[in-house]
Structure 1
Amino acid sequence: MGSRGANVLLSRANRIRQKLQSALEASVLDIEDVSYQHAGHAGVQGDAKETHFNIKIVSLKFEGQTLVKRHRMVYELLVCC
């Protein structure tokens, strides 16, 4: 099984954690699944799980970056999660 197949077995939160930790070398990386707060919303289909997260990241890679740039860095890393 290739690496893509192995990723399917991981929860979305774990895939997010791996990508962010690997790229940002975070000293703090807290991921809170708040999907339950969005259950029943129009955009959530069926019994979809792990749809919304709150994430706190502390990383030296953010030093000197604007808040917008930091958000863009994270979004670019999570395109395929």
Structure 2
Amino acid sequence: ALFLVRLPRTPLVRLPVLVVSWVGIVMVGAGVLGFGARAAGLAPSLGAIPPHMPTALAALLVGAVWVTAWTIAVVSATRSSR
């Protein structure tokens, strides 16, 4: 993630950093969606509905903010000319 602050111009470093970042975004995003489906009761095979819904919603919010922020960082790093 720190490479995104100042993404190297070298393609041998730049491309793997971007690929790993996008894979991470997809994986965490899938986890957030899965947990959301579980919390809403839409996917009972993923487990029982969390007993403390405010805590579950806070976790979903943190996950969604994290995915959004990481996506913005990767898109910004990709568009950056530095």
Using the size of structure 1 for normalisation, the TM-score is 0.31
Bigger radius of gyration: 2
Q: Which has the higher contact order (CA 8 A, sep 6+)?
A: 2
Which structure shows the bigger proportion of residues in strand conformation? 1
Which structure shows the bigger proportion of residues in helix conformation? 2
